[in-house]
Chain A
């Protein structure tokens, strides 16, 4: 990597960024399909769009897993990389996309909201996230981040008749500007200092001298703050409850999982590569000097320590007093971000592995919970409160059982996947010596189990307060929910396979060059 020239060829582009290309083409085609497709029933139109979207995601997923995962040459012209880490997180995002598009079919039918462009926006959002994950160029990261954000802003505002949706989306947009501005400012400072936007080069240049320079620290703080916004860590979290509550339930699930997965993935990649000594693990003489970057840990680690603690506490504590289940899940999603930051803070291989594992598990159980939530809801906002959930266990035994399963998994009870995921996160933190934080974190888990179990209690132990009519449960929706439930159980009982894959993925972070 001593010379600055990059070779570039079309075949290499296809090899490394093939997944992104597939998504771009698919979204362009789907715009036209949406325009020209005429069906007798509007719901058929939506179903076709949903299936096509899911199919595009699956094709991209297939490409990622079969072609990009085994690659050895991973960097494309210093802009994109397809190392196993990015591929893993991208796969999680694509999986979330598949769930979102399939569940959206049922959601749109129940809400009588037949809009094809929804799926195109979803495709763009996923594309943006994947591009952001695969980018190794700060500028590219920023552009992809914006592609993702703009798509998600519009998706959040998709319930036109709902004031909450409009208000939430606007807040998201305004505060998102703040976040982007922070990130951009950090980017500019980094570029000014090092003269490059490629993260491996940044690491190389910083490590040989100027890493103690105050401007580096300012840049680091700015970049971190920008990403913390997307990760919804306290105190950058305040948009999340309002936006999550207002958005269409499936989009909420998507934001809480895929967008967060993207943000966590980028944070891990950017931070680890550019600001920690991880590249020195590769054994390349060029990167020997990056070992010096370990000095920066005294700055960012204490900050992350406090933010993780605050996030876990605020998320779980405020969730306790929520009466609206959707808003409660929004706070719980903040708390889960707090758990995952334990893995970031540990910054060892166990921690990174645990974060990757948890992203998968969290995606599965969150989609499950929101999937049941929108079904019980019927039409958005009709039955979301705890009062509505009373006694549903006897009226809708399957839905209630599934919801209980997903919530128990979120609460981290064995033998569900949530337990294993939390176990690895806390184990990583403890291994790195963060005993106090781990102990306090476990304490917040106890608080969390109160509000999760309260829902289960409402289902089975109380008499119904009023008649609740769940929405139409289609075959596809039920199929997806059952797959998710099986996933929750499978990774809870046999996690070894996924752990192995996640471990291989995190090791590849040292090879981004």
Chain B
């Protein structure tokens, strides 16, 4: 089956080419058909290949396909090669599956847009690059995908580019991502310089071999540098502190794009990359320490900002930043499979939330301010129920998927083998953020769907349930938000079931991470906690989730008119700080943007326009023109002159030869 891996990126590419080149001519029906079917077929191919993988014994679950030798310079050999192992299998299923659902949803959502073909072309292009990113068998191919999804994201954020604000949001995303990509590139260079290879199948065994033979120390400076540089790349793509600022603005794009790119798939690329590089990270505990603290801070700070936002999509955007923080907590406390598990369940419930938000936005004619909503549950029952499912999932209420994945992340953080104390701090921050998450999600639910409608009469009349092409995807995703976590039920819950359950998800990913586990086991003694502790951890996270929901109920259902204002008044300073998102954008503007602006103006006016263009380029051109005319004068058309020059040349040669 490995011979068919190339089809997974190829099909979206074909869809992109057809829609991009001929989209204007082939009509909406055809565009939709090509756009959706190319992704659907890619999903089908992935399912078949992964099914084939599942049929194989655990040791053989790794396929590689080399298409051709791409770059060969000196001792740098890079193949255009794809690799499918359990890790990329999970990713490819999530990405193609969620993409397919969202492609279908887009049919209804974008139905009236004049650039319908452009939208589908970009969306297909995104899936192409995302699959390349996931399937790439070396860092260079991954980087191609990494940059490609950045491009697709930029194009789709600025999809309605005629508005300045929207175009600026696109540019912001692009520029902030450049900073991260720079780190990623440097990390890649450093890997090549240190180990001489960028291919996964060569690099990781080599690193392992060097470690086992004492050629590479645990926590050596070069490993820390590589891991932190790669992490810089991840902070850009996956919106972590300090580079998260682009993601909330990225909500300017169409909502399905926010669901697909800026919630479910692209932004998780950083998590995937860290999990892919797990052996290197396991060998750099200091890098993991830094990462775990930063991601915990991200999870917490983004959650607090989400509490006071009124724009539905912005709440979801900060929630995405916060949830990505959880995923990074997972991978940075050596629980790589837990991070990927949360990535998967997050893809389901966050895509569902965004699509529901899109449905609400459609019903409200583009209004996203939840202060204008209220009581929508009666008019949009399907949207309400599906969004409730997803909200319960993100709040970590059992038996929804978010409960299992978040609990696994937090539980593993509590047992961080390298730095047990830090692990407990991270766990505590994560727990607090989980409570806040539940609070802001249900604040959103209550303000939007409960109480009285606060908008205008006209809006009230317009509110309606969406067509099936939009509610269908919602139901699929809501269902997945419910059951998606059941593949990773922890062993400790065995006593609850009449039959034996195992953590299928962790076992499936185990071949990818087993070497990391061996390294850890050989380096420190893994702390062992009794099942009682695990039960306590689990119930505490459920407790904070329910606590958050109850608090939201108390404030926004029992006292919706008085309590919020009163609280804002009492904690005026905190309120202002959080409402303005800790002034991060303003700080960036003054510390980074303005100095750069002055520097570039100086470079442009003085160095470029005057020195280079004026004195340098035009000065040289002036000399060339003058010289050209001067030499051209010799060519006067007289054959005598020509002959004389030939003779002169000969005489000079003879003179040089003989004397």
A-side interface residues toward B, CB under 8 Å? 170-171, 174-175, 178-179, 182, 214, 217-218, 220-222, 224-225, 228-229, 234-236, 238-239, 241-242, 299, 302-303, 314, 317-321, 447, 450
Contacts and interface: CB of A to CB of B under 8 A. Distances in A.
A235 B649 contact: yes
A174 B643 contact: yes
Given A317-B631, A320-B628, A171 B658 contact: no
A276 to B, nearest CB: 16
User: Which 5 pairs from chain A and chain B are nearest by CB?
Assistant: A238-B642, A321-B628, A217-B657, A235-B649, A320-B628
A235 B642 CA distance: 9
Contacts of B658: 214, 217-218
A321 B629 contact: yes
Nearest to A299: B657
A222 B641 CA distance: 20
Interface in B598-650: 621, 624-625, 627-629, 631-632, 634-635, 637, 639, 641-643, 645-650
B657 A242 contact: no
Given A238-B635, A238-B641, A299-B657, A321 B625 contact: yes
Contact of A303 (B625, B628, B639, B656): B656
Given A217-B657, A303-B653, A303-B656, A175 B642 contact: yes
A220 B657 contact: yes
16 contacts: A171-B639, A174-B643, A178-B646, A179-B646, A217-B657, A218-B658, A221-B650, A221-B653, A225-B649, A238-B635, A241-B635, A242-B635, A299-B657, A303-B653, A317-B624, A450-B621
A260 B319 CA distance: 71
Contacts of B628: 317-321
Given A182-B650, A218-B654, A171 B642 contact: yes
Given A320-B625, A450-B621, A235 B646 contact: yes
A318 B632 CA distance: 6
Contact of A175 (B621, B627, B643, B653): B643
* Range, interface on chain B: 20 to 34
Secondary structure type dominating chain A contacts: helix
Q: Which of A241, A302, A317 has the most CB of B within 10 A?
A: A317
Given A239-B642, A317-B627, A320-B628, A302 B649 contact: no
Contacts, number: 78
Contacts of A302: 656
Given A220-B657, A225-B649, A303-B653, A447 B624 contact: yes
A218 B656 CA distance: 10
A58 B38 CA distance: 46
Contacts of A303: 653, 656-657
Given A218-B654, A221-B650, A238-B646, A175 B625 contact: no
A486 B396 CA distance: 60
A225 B647 CA distance: 9
Contacts of A238: 634-635, 641-642, 645-646
Contacts of A318: 628, 631-632, 635
Interface string B486-502: 00000000000000000
B45 to A, nearest CB: 30
Nearest to A241: B635
Contacts of A234: 649
Contacts of A214: 658
Nearest to B649: A235
Contacts of A178: 643, 646-647
A218 B650 CA distance: 10
A228 B646 CA distance: 10
A217 B657 CA distance: 6
B419 to A, nearest CB: 50
B639 A229 contact: no
A243 to B, nearest CB: 10
B635 A320 contact: no
Contacts of B627: 317
A321 B632 contact: yes
Given A171-B639, A214-B658, A314 B631 contact: yes
A242 B646 CA distance: 15
Contacts of B649: 225, 228, 234-236
Given A228-B649, A317-B628, 20 more contacts: A174-B643, A175-B639, A178-B646, A217-B657, A218-B658, A221-B654, A221-B657, A224-B653, A229-B646, A234-B649, A235-B645, A236-B646, A236-B649, A241-B635, A299-B656, A303-B657, A314-B631, A317-B631, A320-B624, A320-B625
Q: Which of B625, B642, B643, B645 has the most CB of A within 10 A?
A: B642
Nearest to A310: B649
B68 to A, nearest CB: 11
B637 A450 contact: no
A234 B631 CA distance: 12
Contacts of A175: 639, 642-643, 646
B49 to A, nearest CB: 31
Given A182-B650, A235-B648, A174 B639 contact: yes
Contacts of A447: 624
A45 to B, nearest CB: 36
Contacts of B653: 221, 224-225, 303
A299 B659 CA distance: 10
A314 B627 CA distance: 9
A218 B621 CA distance: 41
Contacts of B642: 171, 175, 238-239
Contacts of B650: 182, 221-222, 225
A242 B637 contact: yes
Nearest to B657: A217
Contacts of B656: 299, 302-303
A303 B621 CA distance: 29
Interface in B490-525: none
Nearest to B653: A221
Interface string B547-573: 000000000000000000000000000
A241 B642 CA distance: 11
Contact of B624 (A171, A174, A299, A450): A450
Contacts of B635: 238, 241-242, 318
Contacts of A217: 654, 657-658
Nearest to A321: B628
A153 to B, nearest CB: 14
Contact of A218 (B632, B637, B643, B657): B657
Nearest to A302: B656
Contacts of A170: 639
A220 B657 CA distance: 9
Nearest to A170: B639
A225 B621 CA distance: 33
Contacts of A224: 653
Contacts of B657: 217-218, 220-221, 299, 303
A221 B27 CA distance: 73
Nearest to A220: B657
In this complex, the member of B621, B645, B657 whose beta carbon has the largest number of chain A beta carbons within 10 angstroms is B657
Nearest to B72: A496
B631 to A, nearest CB: 5
A236 to B, nearest CB: 5
Nearest to A314: B631
Contacts of B643: 174-175, 178
Nearest to B641: A238
Nearest to A216: B657
A447 B631 CA distance: 15
